[in-house]
Amino acid sequence: MSKKKDFDPADKFTGLSTIYDKARPGYPVEALRAVLSHCALEEGSTLVDVGCGTGISARAFAQFGLRVIGVEPNSDMRLVAESANKGLSYPAPSYQPGRAEATGLPPNCADAVAALQAFHWFEPDQALIEFRRILKHAGWVILVWNERQESDPFTKSYGDLIRNIPKASELEVSRSKSGEILLHSELFENSKDMTFQNEQILNEDLLIERAFSSSYAPRQPVDARRLKDSLKRIFNDYEEQGVVVLKYVTNVYLAQKHA
C-alpha cells in the first residue's frame, strides 16, 4: 500500500534545474554496461527514463545508441534537458511531460523503463503498474540510486552536514529502501540487484552547488549561509590540490515483466 504524499514532488526542484544539471553525479560506465547486458538492450532499443530531470541519465543511456524517451513533469528541468541536446554526437533523447503514474505513453512501447535517482518520489504501486503497462513482453524495469559511501571520512563529514538539514534524514532513509519494492513486486520476476563504485570530484564551488541541488537544501538566507560556511569548512579540512572527492555506491535494481 503506497503512502500518499502531502506535496507535489515535481515542484521540489523548481528553480534548481541549472544547478542540478551541473552539480549532480553521473553513473559509472560499468554499471550502465552491466544493465544493458543483463536487460539485453542494444542499439535501437527503446528505453523510457521516468523522472528524467535534466537528462543526466537519459544522455548516459542514449550514448550507447538507445532510443531514449525522457518523461519529466517539471518544465524547468525538462527545458534544461532539451537544451543539453544541442551538439550531441549521438541520437538525442526526446522529452515529454508526464508522471511515473501516468506517463502518457502507449502500451507495450518500451524495451525498458528506468528511473534513476527518482523512484522514491513516485507513488510506487501505481508507478510499477504504469511501468508494466508500457513495457513490451519481457521488458525490464531499472531503478538506480547513487548513495553516499560514508566509510570515506570526507563523505561522512559531508553526510553529517546534510543530515542536520530538516527532513533530509527522513528522505534518505525512505530512498535507500525504495529499490526493495521492485525486488518483491508480484508484477515482475527475475529480480536482481547490483552495486558499483562511483565518485565525484568537486572544487569548492561545485561542492556547495552539489549540496544546494538537493530538494531539502535550505533556501532561507540565514540557514543557507550557515550551510555554505560549514561546507567551506569541511572543504578546507579535506581538500587536496583544490578538490575533494565524494564517494558513492551506485545501487541498481532490476526486474522483468512477467511473460
Q: What is the DSSP string of the chain?
A: -PPPPSS-GGGGGTT-HHHHHHHS----HHHHHHHHHHTT--TT-EEEEET-TTSHHHHHHHTTT-EEEEE-S-HHHHHHHHHTTTT-SSPPPEEE--BTTB--PPTT-EEEEEEES-GGGS-HHHHHHHHHHHEEEEEEEEEEEEEE-TTSHHHHHHHHHHHTSTTHHHHHHHHHHHHHHHHT-TTEEEEEEEEEEEEEEE-HHHHHHHHHTSTTS--SHHHHHHHHHHHHHHHHHH-BTTBEEEEEEEEEEEEEE--
Residue 6: predicted pLDDT:
45
Q: Are 60 and 32 in contact (CB under 8 A)?
A: yes
Residue 171: predicted pLDDT:
73
For 178-200, the pLDDT digits (tens) are 999 999 999 999 999 999 999 99
Burial label for 242, CB within 10 Å (0-12, 13-18, 19+), is exposed
Residue 8: predicted pLDDT:
60
Question: What's the pTM?
Answer: 0.93
Q: If the chain, 259 residues long, is cut into consecutive pieces of 10 residues, what is the mean pLDDT of each piece?
A: 48 83 97 98 98 98 98 96 95 97 98 97 97 98 96 97 84 78 96 98 98 90 96 98 98 93
Q: Where are the domains of the chain?
A: 9-147+167-197+249-257
9-147+167-197+249-257 to CATH, choices 3.40.50.920, 3.40.50.300, 3.60.15.30, 3.40.50.150:
3.40.50.150
